[in-house]
Structure 1
Amino acid sequence: MAQYNTNVPSFYRVEERDIVMPAESRLQVDLFDFQDTLGEAINGEKLIGSTVIDLEDRWHSAAWKDCMDRRQQVPTENRGLINPQLSGQNCGSIEMWVEMIDSVRASDIKASELRKPPAMEIEIRLVIRTCKNVKLWDGSKTDVKVTVDLECKEYEGVTMGFPKLQPTDVHLGSTGNAIFNWRIVYPRIVMPTKSCTMDLKLYQANFVSADEFIGAVSVDLRRYVERVARDMDMIYIEKADLQFTAGAAGEGEEGGDGADAAEEETVGSVQFEMWFMTQSEANQKRNGKGREDPNDFPQLVTPAEGRGWGDVLGGFSLSLPDLGLMKKVIPLILFTLLCLVLLRFVGLL
């Protein structure tokens, strides 16, 4: 039974043997580095370490029998591994237990159940509050949009309706600052994880053509999720800021003209809050994406700025010709036409 590319293998395997003591009272457990047939033929078996247990010593131990018989508890042992060829070096340890039952009672007593514990799952919640000093796209305003993309192979929240790529809504007509109050949710990150990175990208939103990239920033979250998995305590990051840079464009996006100066250009910042918690705790405080229900922890309110019809129409640059004196006459003409329509409607014309 081999496990690959790990130094913390989990076997959860039970072996049963009939023995006669004291002739068969020595139990040796060896841990080997797995090699294929050719490698084993060339190099031989590569021993990592061994541990030896004196079964007769266990059988005659009053403390061990007290745990097994009276308390009905199996004493777990954490045993160090020793390699004679690596004297004085730490070769790891193995967690195990040994049960011994008299052959007369063996048919009546089943072996203790050895079950792998459920996988630890972590949920990440990000609330994007505001963006500041956003680069003006056409010289006077920007329709600001932010996308968040989670890079984590152990993420399994897609099946729950939480995709890896989650965009905010659009703040229309921003003159540099934008308000979102938008929640990003990533449930079911299965631990342990080899990598957990969050990419935030800033865009000029377009309703007809594709959004235009402005800048990006990446955050490594692995140490936070590992800490929560280890300590089982929630981590809260309160109103922190990240800087968007123009040179951090993703593949297929243009982040400037390629010059070194452009790579360092700051094109805005984002203020956010972030929570890391175990999935069991998150299930007691459920939240939806964006501002969807359930909308608690915290409750998010749709901003008034950048969402009105005036902001929508402001995106269309319409200019009327200079009508001169007609500007004063047009209202009178329209009023007269309205009166004629009303008179016609009541039958006076």
Structure 2
Amino acid sequence: MLTVQIYDWDLVGSDDMVGETKIDLENRFYSRHRACCGLPEKYEEQGYNAWRDAIKPTQILAKLCKDAKIDPPIYANGVVKIGKQLFSVQNDELDFYRAKEAEEHMALAVLQRWHEFPRIGCHLVPEHVESRPLYNPDKPGVERGKLEMWVDIFPMDMPLPGPPVDISPRKPKNYEMRVIIWNTDDVVLEDDAFFTGEKMSDIYVKGWLKGPEDCQCTDIHYRSLTGEGNFNWRFIFPFDYLVAEQKIVISRKESLFSWDETECKIPARLELQVWDADHFSADDFLGAITIDLNRFPRGAKSSKLCTLDMLKSDGSVPMVNIFKQKRVKGWWPFFVKKDNEEMELTGKVEAEFHLLTKEEAEKVPAGLGRNEPDPLEKPNRPDSSFMWFMNPLKSIRYIVWHNYKWTILKLLIILGLAIIIFLFVYSVPGYTVKKMIGA
């Protein structure tokens, strides 16, 4: 009897048994269903699915025939004859029956249909992973979880089986995602200018890959009057990725008092959001887009071509896989969802996505934002982009003078005329007295 037990490890004190499962090996070894080693779907001599039984399919079939005291199998052109029973094995490849391992393929096909053989036939156990319930002797009848496993039994007097199967967990691959936010356009204008009442927004973009705690932000493009923002700002997101599962692997402690880190897997999605910065209240959310790194729409070549139609999922929009494409640049739309679940366009972003392995990233390093190495140029922002209370002279020039220059000029002319009239009225009485006394 093989007993497998699962324990809960404790740092202090004795470990606790969660549950156990018991397997009757003798019952398996002598079973007529041949439960010693499951039959795979295909016969492979190499690769991860290589034949691992101690004897090959032809030997298994010959042994079954010998134990049943019937004539050994005869193989010929896709037909296996055992006694009076014929098994037809179909294959579309013309050279299949000429290959040296063709008899092994045919024998395996017959073994999978062994239950069709009259009187002595039965279902043979296929290759599979067992899911066995766990029970604790202290709490009989209460299932404490499941154990996924398999058991192979190989007699010592038989040939050695194939190499053991490596079932260690897949190790994630290290990647680095570099996202450059170049520009934005047509971003909705959320605020009113303090002095002029004009519609404007203080635009910045934030993004994350693993979660909001991994968030990175650009600097702020102040006083955008058209929805255009210039950034030239680089985000860098290192992450571990499981290619087979298309998931990002994150290891973190669930709490401050956790002894070990917990591993969790999340979809590979990049979140980009555009915000309006406020100085004396919470920032305003303007729009967002979620980029599935395995399948996302190809970016538009220009801002005018960037629309919400790019986000259709009916197959009419060409899709990109960043793990194959490696580098993509274009325009993508920001949007918000209304109460009726309809999407509303709230802006556009020109971005560049560059995916590198850890080794490639170390060879070609890059800095966050616009920093060294491989620095990005400062954006060519208009002179009117500034924080008004930090630049009083610019505020006078670009806010007061730009919007009220004609009003100011009119007031100055009126004020000048008023001074002239006042001086004239003030001077006339004295000048008249001098003339009268002949001074």
Where in structure 2 are the equivalents of 1:98-109 lying within 5 Å?
none
Where in structure 2 are the equivalents of 1:1-349 lying within 5 Å?
32-33=130-131, 35-37=133-135, 41=141, 49-53=150-154, 56-58=157-159, 76-77=163-164, 94-95=165-166, 119-137=172-190, 138=192, 140-151=199-210, 164-174=214-224, 175-191=226-242, 192-193=247-248, 194-221=266-293, 235-247=325-337, 258-260=338-340, 263-294=342-373, 296=374, 299-306=375-382, 308=383, 311-313=386-388, 317-318=399-400, 322-326=411-415
Question: Does the 8 Å contact 2:135/2:143 carry over to 1?
Answer: no
Which residue of structure 1 lines up, in the alignment, with residue 20 of structure 2? none
Deviation at 1:173, TM superposition (A): 2.6
Task: Report the Cα distance in structure 2 between the residues aligned to 1:305 and 1:51, rounded to whole angstroms.
Answer: 70
Total equivalences in the alignment: 230
Task: Report the Cα distance in structure 1 between the residues aligned to 2:178 and 2:340, rounded to whole angstroms.
Answer: 34
Deviation at 1:271, TM superposition (A): 1.4
1:302 alignment partner, SS class = coil
Deviation at 1:260, TM superposition (A): 2.7
Task: Report the Cα distance in structure 1 between the residues aligned to 2:210 and 2:417, rounded to whole angstroms.
Answer: 61
Deviation at 1:215, TM superposition (A): 1.2
- 2:328 aligned partner, one-letter code: E
Task: Report the Cα distance in structure 2 between the residues aligned to 1:272 and 1:2, rounded to whole angstroms.
Answer: 50
Task: Report the Cα distance in structure 2 between the residues aligned to 1:142 and 1:46, rounded to whole angstroms.
Answer: 57
Task: Report the Cα distance in structure 2 between the residues aligned to 1:54 and 1:328, rounded to whole angstroms.
Answer: 118
* Cα-to-partner distance string for 1:168-214 (whole Å, 9 max, x where unaligned): 11122321222211111111335453323222111112233322111
Indicate the structure (1 or 2) with the bigger Cα radius of gyration. 2
The unaligned stretches of length 5 or more in structure 1 are 4-26, 65-74, 78-93, 97-114, 154-162, 225-231, 248-257, 331-349
- 1:267 aligned partner, one-letter code: T
- 1:188 aligned partner, one-letter code: F
Q: 1:2 to 1:216 in 2, by over 3 A?
A: farther
* Cα-to-partner distance string for 1:291-348 (whole Å, 9 max, x where unaligned): 1222x2xx42111214x47644477854685332557999xxxxxxxxxxxxxxxxxx
Task: Report the Cα distance in structure 2 between the residues aligned to 1:303 and 1:165, rounded to whole angstroms.
Answer: 22
TM-score (normalised: structure 1): 0.52
Task: Report the Cα distance in structure 2 between the residues aligned to 1:259 and 1:233, rounded to whole angstroms.
Answer: 35
Q: Percent identity?
A: 22
Which residue of structure 1 lines up, in the alignment, with residue 48 of structure 2? none
TM-score (normalised: structure 2): 0.43
Task: Report the Cα distance in structure 2 between the residues aligned to 1:183 and 1:148, rounded to whole angstroms.
Answer: 11
- 1:124 aligned partner, one-letter code: M
Question: Does the 8 Å contact 1:121/1:278 carry over to 2?
Answer: yes
Question: Does the 8 Å contact 2:335/2:343 carry over to 1?
Answer: yes
Deviation at 1:238, TM superposition (A): 2.1
Task: Report the Cα distance in structure 2 between the residues aligned to 1:310 and 1:201, rounded to whole angstroms.
Answer: 21
* Cα-to-partner distance string for 1:218-262 (whole Å, 9 max, x where unaligned): 1223569xxxxxxx9774242232211132xxxxxxxxxx5438x
Task: Report the Cα distance in structure 2 between the residues aligned to 1:218 and 1:272, rounded to whole angstroms.
Answer: 13
RMSD: 4.4
- Report 1 or 2 for greater relative contact order, CA contacts < 8 Å, sequence distance ≥ 6: 1
1:37 alignment partner, SS class = strand
Task: Report the Cα distance in structure 2 between the residues aligned to 1:305 and 1:132, rounded to whole angstroms.
Answer: 13
Question: Does the 8 Å contact 2:172/2:240 carry over to 1?
Answer: no
Question: Does the 8 Å contact 2:223/2:385 carry over to 1?
Answer: no
- 1:123 aligned partner, one-letter code: E
- 1:279 aligned partner, one-letter code: K
Deviation at 1:119, TM superposition (A): 4.4
1:323 alignment partner, SS class = helix
Question: Does the 8 Å contact 1:76/1:95 carry over to 2?
Answer: no
* Cα-to-partner distance string for 1:47-96 (whole Å, 9 max, x where unaligned): 7644344555556xxxx9xxxxxxxxxx845xxxxxxxxxxxxxxxx437
Q: 1:328 to 1:216 in 2, by over 3 A?
A: farther
- 2:152 aligned partner, one-letter code: T
